Amino acid sequence: MDIPAHLAALRRDGELLADAAGRIDHGARPPGCPAWQVADVIRHLGLVHRWAAAAVRDGRADSAVSTTDDGSGVEGAALVDWFRTGHAALVRTLAEADPAVRCFTFLPAPSPLAFWARRQAHETGIHRADVEAAGGPVTPFPVEVALDGIDEMVGGFAARRSRRPRPPSGEPERTLGLLPTDADEGWLAHVGADGSHPVRGVEPAAAAECVLRGSASDLHLLLWNRLETRALEVTGDAEVLQRWRKQVRVRWGGPGPRRARPVRQG
């Protein structure tokens, strides 16, 4: 996916989230992040959107971007309007940004602008699924978006050396294969490998110790711990998948509103 495609996904999922937030109880708890209520998800994402827009707009070299517009005290329909305002401003900022803009990033990307367009598209999509899941069925991700989300998780978050899952001392690395049933794609992930890299391809994925098969959308949700394993076909040693689900997560904390580090809450 290129920047315009990521911006289209960002725009679509932000609108879907706002529409869902307009009809779902803000006190409900999303299954994917049960420590939060829907209102918490809306505030979190609205703040992240403002943080990301400021990072790109101001060309920040680090994540210490401050904003006082955090949605505190805003409730109900006004909270949804607050979210829409921040989402629209982020889309506009990314669409109008200089392609050569320089600012901080935390995953590999062709450019800082490409990083932020991709990261915010998937951040918004996963939290859109959270809000929808709190009140009903989740809208499936388009295949192209889901494939890109899988690639970001396997080739980005899980592949970072300092964040890569490591097995207990003396245990060998294990391999997990991901095979979308609606695309000719595949990923082989090394679970617990220090210094290894994910491998793209259907054949390597099919040869893994544990192989997951399902729609690209379902695989994307599963990797973000937003879907139970029973929704997919799991063959081989299921313990490998359990290790992945325990160790490869994205937790937020630190300077700025959020800093990524491989948990259920995204």
> What confidence score (pLDDT) does residue 193 get?
54
What is the model's pLDDT at position 261?
A: 32
> What is the reported pLDDT for 14?
98
Weakest mean pLDDT among 54-63, 133-142, 239-248: 239-248
What is the number of residues in the chain? 266
Residue 156: pLDDT above 60? yes
Please give the single-letter amino acid code of residue 252.
W
Domain-embedded: residue 167: yes
Is 266 contained in some domain? Answer: no
Look at the chain and report how many structural domains it folds into. 2
**Alpha carbon distance 93, 7 (integer Å):** 11
Residue whose token pair is 């980005």: 156
List pLDDT tens digits, range 103-151. 999 999 999 999 999 999 999 999 999 999 999 999 999 999 999 999 9
* Tokens describing residue 227: 């879907």
Residue 254 lies in a domain: no
Residues 129 and 173 in one domain: no
Instruction: Provide CB contacts within 8 A for 151, sequence distance 6+.
Output: 187
- Residue at 253 is within a domain: no
Which domain does 96 fall in, by range?
3-139
**260 inside domain:** no
Position 264 in a domain: no
